[in-house]
Structure 1
Amino acid sequence: MVEIGDDAPDFAAPLANGDVEEFTLSENLDEAPIVLAFFPGAFTGVCTTEMATFEENLDDFEDATVYGVSVDAPFSLNEFRDQQDLSFGLVSDSNKEIIDDYDVEMDFADMGYYGVAKRAVFVVDGDGEVTYKWVSDDPGVEPDYEEVADAAAE
């Protein structure tokens, strides 16, 4: 499992930002601190609330760059982004490699749905080091947004 002080696992994945572009974490460390907010699925209740709350609180993340991360397809993420009026990009981990590398994969076995992201937040500094980590085993729990903003500011 990725811990504070570890090098953040690098990844390249599609970024839904109104268009679809390739995003590589290591090539964007100049945007640090980077907040990677993993969420189980677009268009679901708590995930929609979480991404909307990040958007509403972007001013608290003054120098940080926020990215949502889920296993949804980039085209779905663009639609979700449009519907929620999100200004930050959403990373598509449709291959489920990022959730595996960050060890934040979970299943909704009772619904027959496997391999989604746990609700989790990592802050990565300009050297690629993880400086903050929050992972929930309960998909109904949202992160402490003020704590995440404080961690990004440090």
Structure 2
Amino acid sequence: MPEFDVVALEPTDHVEPGDEAPDFTRPLVTDEYWEDRALADLVDGRTILVFTPMIGSFVAKYAWDELAERGWDDREERVVGVTASTPYAVSTFLDDNDFPFEIFADPANGVAETYGLDHELDGMTGISEPRPAFVAVGADRAVDAVWVASEWPEFPDYDELEKRFGLA
């Protein structure tokens, strides 16, 4: 039995296939540096945004471990994270785990709110983080595939996710 409760999340009005992915500018972090980047400037082909909760959580670690093991860093699509953590925390996380990904640091969680993917943490008034989600964005910034957690914690079936996103 898990040492935590599985909780149903409230329904969300998140982005859907056919929507235009909202643009945003946040620090884009690697294990070596970070700089402000706009999504519009980053997307030059298909890009998959991976929303994870705060970077130190087991949910974020599990998701990035799985993506690294599956070689998502070696795909034609660009894989970029979004998390409610500081650039310092994200840089340390990437360096400590030797992850080859880039992650947007969004400590105020505004990007997840704009995408309809935020949820408030129980017992922490005014504190929110992204719910686990994957959003595929084409070069024209049109959303073409989405997976969003409906429970906390919840992970996708990664084989099914790859099929849905055309990665299998």
TM-score norm. by structure 1 comes to 0.89
SS of 2:79's equivalent in the other structure is: strand
Cα deviation, residue 58, structure 1? 2.3
CA contact (8 A) 1:66 1:89 kept: yes
Partner of 1:117: 130
Query: Of 56, 60, 67, which aligns to 2:69?
Result: 56
Amino acid at match of 2:136: V
Query: Of 48, 72, 76, which aligns to 2:85?
Result: 72
Q: What CA deviation, in whole Å up to 9, does each residue of 1:3-22 have, x standing for no partner?
A: 11010001110011120111
1:108 aligns with 2:108: no
Partner of 2:57: 44
Amino acid at match of 2:119: M
Identity %, equivalent residues: 26
Partner of 2:105: 92
Q: What CA deviation, in whole Å up to 9, does each residue of 1:121-145 have, x standing for no partner?
A: 1000111000011111323211232
Q: What CA deviation, in whole Å up to 9, does each residue of 1:13-57 have, x standing for no partner?
A: 001112011121111221x21111101111221210111111111
Q: Answer 1 or 2: which has greater helix percent.
A: 1
1:83 aligns with 2:88: no
| Matched residues, number | 153
CA contact (8 A) 2:73 2:100 kept: no
SS of 1:109's equivalent in the other structure is: coil
CA contact (8 A) 1:5 1:130 kept: yes
Cα deviation, residue 60, structure 1? 8.2
Partner of 1:28: 42
Amino acid at match of 1:23: R
Q: Which moved more, 1:73-82 or 1:43-52?
A: 43-52
Partner of 2:29: 16
Instruction: Show structure 1 runs of 5+ residues with no match.
Output: none
1:136 aligns with 2:146: no
Amino acid at match of 1:27: D
TM-score norm. by structure 2 comes to 0.82
